[in-house]
Structure 1
Amino acid sequence: MTPPQPRSGLAATQRSPLLHRFDSALTTVTEGAAALLVAAEAVLLASGTTARYVFHTPLVWSDELASLIFLWLAMLGAVVALRRGEHMRLTAFVRNLPDETRSWLDTLGMGLVIALLLALLPATLEHFEDLSISTTPVLEISEGFRVAAVLVGFGLMLVTAIDVTLKRARLTQIAVVALGIAAAAGLFWVLAARFEAMGNANLLIFFLGIVSFCMVIGAPIAFAFCLGTVSYLTFATQIPLTIVPSRMDEGMSHLILLAVPMFILLGALIEIAGLARAMISFLVALLGHLRGGLQYVLLGAMYLVSGISGAKAADMAAVAPTLFPEMKKRGNHEGDLTSLLSASAVMSETIPPSIVLITVGSVTGVSIAALFTGGLLPAVVGMAVLCVVVYFQTRNEDMSQVQRFTGRDKLRLFAVAIPGLGLPVVIRTAVVEGVATATEVSTIGIVYTVIVGLVFYRQFDWKRVYPILVETASLSGAILLVVGAATAMAWALTQSGFSRQLVEVMTMVPGGKLGFLLTSAVAFIILGSVLEGVPAIVLFGPLLFPIARMMGVNEVHYAIVAVFAMGFGLFMPPFGVGFYLACAIGRVSPDLAIRRVWPHMGALLVALLLIVLIPWISIGFL
């Protein structure tokens, strides 16, 4: 979401050519550096994978260097995302407000980001100095080279936040917001002793009140988490703020998470290399002549491409524009089509290589190979219930003008689609069978896609590579900053004793294991509608998964229930932001689509209940 321009008055950059030039230079430098790091990471990982599997001579230093580059990529990507307004945020409450009101709220949100970064920079500098004296085990270079990424990242975010504020806000707004934030900080400082004396009741103020307020006004979720954590540590405890950059560093440095930017890059390359279009063309030839055939194609295409891009918006955008025009010609209601698109994204939440599943494995220690295996059949269950809805909705579809493909045409399109169809099969098989890690498979997929695009489909658009690298960095930074912020927040909640209290409450839920699963499903639906999958699982996964183990619930089963439920919440109107993404991609008014979404959501609720009640769906093939 791009903050609106004020309706009256001039922004500072419009007044000053110097600030305008600075803004352009900062954009060029940050985006160029972030794109270069994405490319360097891909080349390094591909080289390490080739050395390991082709030449059987592992590069012992490659993982360490990849980890160093990765943290820089995450932080610079977060800077780019802040400049572009692409951080995850809740827009349900501010979406329909007048422009003037939204302008004030955007200024307030950015002012809180500036205040947070000003508070974090000294602590981050101290964290950098503490680790600079250590050396890495293989390369034997100072840890400062890696940890400096957090310090530089926060510094550039501060500069970016100030730059964005000067560019978009009026001076009166800036002054009022600055005074308001200073007054609020002073009040909290005066009340610090009382907050500390409140015990865990103060968690409601900091982790519910402050975080909720930030999210309601549309501030980025990652910064809302950080602000709640920093405020809690500053005004209610004696714990030094250095713990925040330390925990964020730890949360973002898991090697498993290296797969995130690589799969995002892979998803973008699939589109420009022609693989997605070839797969969809074959499915249309195979099923397009049936009533509801194109709807079945949409579901099948989402099953094939989902999760590879790392972004549901990218998955939907790869499928919908190709199919929607013909669907409308057949008399399908555009509200039904958008609702199906939204529901198909829910259905495919558990399909590997899902970024959310990778995150689950990272923060809970559950085997990613087991999660990938367990996620395939639940998605089939979701697809099956949606097919039932499609069948009843398309019984009267006009098929008189539908093109029918001959057997020869189907074979030809199948032959063309084979390279594209092979990619998701190779990726999922390699990870599920334990042949390679998710990160290694993503790099293999990138090389495979580039070769197929150049050799087979001959439509690789090199002009789009740089924008794709920047977009990859931006989305990766947005995701990984949430992971880091939620890791710090989860640590603070654990230290407060909240996790112990949560265990006591959850174990008292009536119904034993089943009651716990149903309660968790409802909780994750709510969390998914507000926080989205990655921040919700990073924040609550470390708290709830140990309870699931204690209750005797299989970890993979619990993970699949959590991910499917969060996906349901993410695309559930009126708060689920995914639903509005589907409307934007389908170019349909949310007011029109929201009246048509309920049959699909009802079917998915049935699928979720089946997944909860029948563990075999998730763990039968482990």
Structure 2
Amino acid sequence: MSSGVGVAVAPQGWLTRLETGLGWLVEVPAALLVLADILVLFAGVVARYVLHDPLLWSDELASILFLWLAMLGSVVALRRGEHMRMTAWVGRAAPARRAQLELLATFACLAFLALVAAPAWEYAADEQAITTPALEISNLWRAAALPVGIGLMGLFAVLRLARSGTVGQRLKVAVALAAVIGLFWWAGPVLAPLGRWNLLIFFVGVAGGCVLAGIPIAFAFGLATFGYLALTTQTPMMALVGRMDEGMSHLILLAVPLFVFLGLLIEMTGMARAMIAFLAALLGHVRGGLSYVLVGAMYLVSGISGSKAADMAAIAPALFPEMKARGARPGDLVALLAATGAQTETVPPSLVLITIGSVTGVSIAALFTGGLLPALVLGALLCAVVWHRYQGEDLSGVQRRPRAEVFKLFLIALPALALPFVIRAAVVQGVATATEVSTLGIAYAVLAGLLIYRQFDLRRLLPMLVDTAALSGAILLIIGTATGMAWGLTQSGFSRWLAQSMAALPGGAPMFMAVSVLAFVVLGSVLEGIPAIVLFGPLLFPIARQLGIHEVHYAMVVVLSMGLGLFAPPLGVGYYAACAIGRVSPDLGLRPIVGYLAALLVGVVVVAAVPWISIGFL
């Protein structure tokens, strides 16, 4: 099964050469943008902390470069067929039907890009009048990334269609898709009076149907949101583009490509091999040993970057190769990776916890203290599932290493093992922000590769930078369209209606807590943590206080519930980010993740039922 869009066909002469040439013209600038962002942020850290002369323009320039990186990375991902999608149904279809579904996926991508192209140009034109505060240049330099990226994605989608299927097949699928879009457009006057029923029609029916049909996740979310706003509201579509911009260009997300690149560096410089050799020697004789390491490693690095995708990108490349070599199934690996992402949502320094403190008035220090033990409880339950699953693992060919050998491997791996602690110390000591700290990790990895492990292949840098841009673009476009979906839910009045309904629930605090868990699991599947907290935190936390629920306790339950939804298929964005980082088809993780999600749900219930887990050390 494929995680990309389209089917492989025989090269068609000039079309193939044209696509290859255009691909090179996009991939090289995308790679240079990754490198430029690293250098700009690292220069900002050095100027502020070493030279005590902050660069006032560094964050602003990094933000401009980042949006271009996100859009060009999305273009590279589309050209390579690396936008994440669910292919469970597509893979089971007969060959002829599968070819039609593959064409439908490409046509759907092209339809969304065509629909938002004009609003994107309007949005960029409006931004021309705004002058950036530090660089004092027109914001058009930044906003132009959106229409340019959308146009280039559309071009590569057309080229892909020209090389896929026959003319008859393409015409048949195009007519069918046009008929569906036309039907929705014709039904617009009927849909508008339906009110909140449209949320089910578009955000459950259209989005879920597109995902199951194999349309890439980002484009499925985009089509559902565009349809809802265009057919049931008077909202100008330029607003949707603005929300996508907001979602993709949040500076904290710059940690995603930087940690992706750091993960590739750790592998290229030999640090991963040294670390895995030690861990395998230490736990290799234990059934499921490296899975325990994955759970613990995510706990250690979680929250450093402010992005779960970045946390996973820092860990997976270092552990997955050896785990696969020891017989672990890719689906199980990506399922555990996603589960650990949900498990560690409360580990400080968590940007979601900081957001809760800022919008609700809860002490951030108290949230940081309260967040450690709940994540440990969930981690212990995940380890219990690992223990159960790996009871039958064949270790007949594995012998326990002598202590002297383990100690020697520990000394060799020490620089690699120290990296998470160096990164965390830099954040805690204020040397760098959650975004900038990834550049310190990159500098550390480069020096370790050159001076300690003596492995640094310059020929691999450009492919690594291009891979970083493609993977980051795939993740960030999902976040961008999901942010647009979140904004659409806000415009519908759904958030306020939800808060009023929950305040009127019978049963007092226990019922309120139970419904909160259910509601935030559902909300977490379509919203990133920060938008959800900004939307619902100010509404629901006062209700919790009135019912006598400790605000830190409620915060832990809310964050863990959102994490569970965020990493649960079929709609959880975090699950697809984990699949993208692990380079595993989402289909393969569906069955293995059920057990891990059940363990996480039990953990959330335990944390909700036992307030001491969250507030015992305050």
TM bucket (normalised to shorter chain) is 0.7 to 0.9
Distance verdict in 2 for CA 1:115–1:391, change over 3 Å? closer
- Worse-superposed segment, 500-509 or 516-525: 516-525
- Worse-superposed segment, 434-443 or 63-72: 434-443
Distance verdict in 2 for CA 1:313–1:430, change over 3 Å? closer
The residue number in structure 2 matching 1:515 is 511
Q: Provide the C-alpha distance between the structure 1 equivalents of 2:428 and 2:558, rounded to a whole number of angstroms.
A: 16
The residue number in structure 2 matching 1:331 is none
Q: Tell me, what secondary structure is at the counterpart of 1:437?
A: coil
Is 1:422 the counterpart of 2:422 in the alignment? Answer: no
Q: Provide the C-alpha distance between the structure 1 equivalents of 2:72 and 2:616, rounded to a whole number of angstroms.
A: 42
Residue 179 of structure 1 is aligned with which of 175, 178, 183?
A: 175
Alignment of 1:470-619 (within 5 A): 470-523=466-519, 537=529, 540-552=532-544, 553-554=551-552, 556-558=555-557, 560-566=559-565, 569-570=568-569, 594=591, 602-615=598-611, 617-618=613-614
Q: Provide the C-alpha distance between the structure 1 equivalents of 2:416 and 2:263, rounded to a whole number of angstroms.
A: 12
The residue number in structure 1 matching 2:161 is 165
- Per-residue deviation, 1:451: 0.8
CA deviation string 1:267-308 (max 9, x = no partner): 221222222332232233334455665554454455556787
- Per-residue deviation, 1:499: 1.8
Q: Provide the C-alpha distance between the structure 2 equivalents of 1:572 and 1:616, rounded to a whole number of angstroms.
A: 32
Residue 117 of structure 2 is aligned with which of 114, 117, 121?
A: 121
Q: Tell me, what secondary structure is at the counterpart of 1:569?
A: coil
Is 1:347 the counterpart of 2:330 in the alignment? Answer: no
Residues 38, 261 of structure 1: 8 Å contact kept: yes
Residues 51, 57 of structure 1: 8 Å contact kept: yes
TM-score when scaled to structure 2?
Answer: 0.84
The residue number in structure 2 matching 1:251 is 247
Residue 2 of structure 1 is aligned with which of 1, 4, 19?
A: 4
Look up the equivalent residue of 2:266 and give its one-letter code.
I
- Worse-superposed segment, 42-51 or 240-249: 240-249
Distance verdict in 2 for CA 1:304–1:43, change over 3 Å? same
Q: Provide the C-alpha distance between the structure 2 equivalents of 1:463 and 1:137, rounded to a whole number of angstroms.
A: 39
Q: Tell me, what secondary structure is at the counterpart of 2:407?
A: helix
Look up the equivalent residue of 1:545 and give its one-letter code.
G
Distance verdict in 2 for CA 1:546–1:148, change over 3 Å? same
The residue number in structure 2 matching 1:319 is 319
- Per-residue deviation, 1:257: 1.9
Look up the equivalent residue of 1:177 and give its one-letter code.
V
Q: Provide the C-alpha distance between the structure 1 equivalents of 2:5 and 2:41, rounded to a whole number of angstroms.
A: 37
Q: Tell me, what secondary structure is at the counterpart of 2:54?
A: coil
Distance verdict in 2 for CA 1:247–1:470, change over 3 Å? same
Is 1:270 the counterpart of 2:266 in the alignment? Answer: yes
Q: Tell me, what secondary structure is at the counterpart of 1:93?
A: helix
- Per-residue deviation, 1:4: 5.5
The residue number in structure 2 matching 1:451 is 447
TM-score when scaled to structure 1?
Answer: 0.84
Distance verdict in 2 for CA 1:285–1:461, change over 3 Å? same
Residue 224 of structure 2 is aligned with which of 219, 225, 228?
A: 228
- Worse-superposed segment, 486-495 or 295-304: 295-304
Look up the equivalent residue of 2:496 and give its one-letter code.
R
Q: Provide the C-alpha distance between the structure 1 equivalents of 2:365 and 2:95, rounded to a whole number of angstroms.
A: 47
CA deviation string 1:90-133 (max 9, x = no partner): 33333322232222122222222222222212222121221112
Report the RMSD for the aligned CA atoms in angstroms.
Answer: 4.0
Residue 146 of structure 2 is aligned with which of 143, 150, 155?
A: 150
Unaligned runs of 5+ in 1: 329-333
Distance verdict in 2 for CA 1:352–1:52, change over 3 Å? farther
The residue number in structure 2 matching 1:210 is 206
* Number of residue-to-residue matches in the alignment: 601
Q: Provide the C-alpha distance between the structure 1 equivalents of 2:409 and 2:268, rounded to a whole number of angstroms.
A: 19
Distance verdict in 2 for CA 1:527–1:319, change over 3 Å? farther
Residues 557, 604 of structure 2: 8 Å contact kept: no
Q: Provide the C-alpha distance between the structure 2 equivalents of 1:486 and 1:579, rounded to a whole number of angstroms.
A: 16
Alignment of 1:300-379 (within 5 A): 300-301=296-297, 303=299, 310=310, 312=312, 315-316=315-316, 318-323=318-323, 339=332, 342-343=335-336, 345-351=338-344, 358=351, 376-379=372-375
Q: Tell me, what secondary structure is at the counterpart of 1:458?
A: coil
Distance verdict in 2 for CA 1:410–1:450, change over 3 Å? same
- Per-residue deviation, 1:261: 1.6
Is 1:90 the counterpart of 2:82 in the alignment? Answer: no
